[in-house]
Amino acid sequence: ILNVEQSPQSLHVQEGDSTNFTCSFPSSNFYALHWYRWETAKSPEALFVMTLNGDEKKKGRISATLNTKEGYSYLYIKGSQPEDSATYLCAFSGSARQLTFGSGTQLTVLP
């Protein structure tokens, strides 16, 4: 059974703060690690797909890193804004093509 863990479960930060969350996943049989941003009642929005150890991806104020040898990924948000409030999901894909999701980190950015 694959286990994808995310921490923290929830996080409250002030507008302008920078923050980061962690995703840990099995280091064996790895193919890709996906990050999504999800607001309830909307489609989960794809942020990044990372496949190589040491990968770093950036999209605006959001960036992510990947360590496949130790099985973790970090998502960073620089200068958080209220519109960044959402649940951030990571998902692992191995030799099977389906995504195995973590339970998410719920971020609230207070104005």
Could you list the residues that contact another protein (CB under 8 A)?
A: 4, 31-32, 34, 36, 41-46, 49, 51, 89, 91, 93, 96-104
Encoded tokens for 2: 């694959």
Q: Quick one: 18 or 27, whose CB is closer to another protein?
A: 27
In this structure, the chain runs to a length of: 111
- Give the residue with the Cβ less far from another protein, 8 or 16: 8
CA dihedral for 71, 47, 104, 14, sign (positive or negative): positive
Q: Tell me the closest approach of the beta carbon of residue 106 to another protein, in angstroms.
A: 12
Please tell me the distance from the alpha carbon of residue 98 to that of residue 71, in angstroms, as a whole number. Answer: 18
Specify the residue, 1 or 111, whose C-beta has the smaller distance to another protein: 1
The nearest distance, CB 38 to another protein, in angstroms, is 8
Residues 6+ apart with CB under 8 A from 60: none
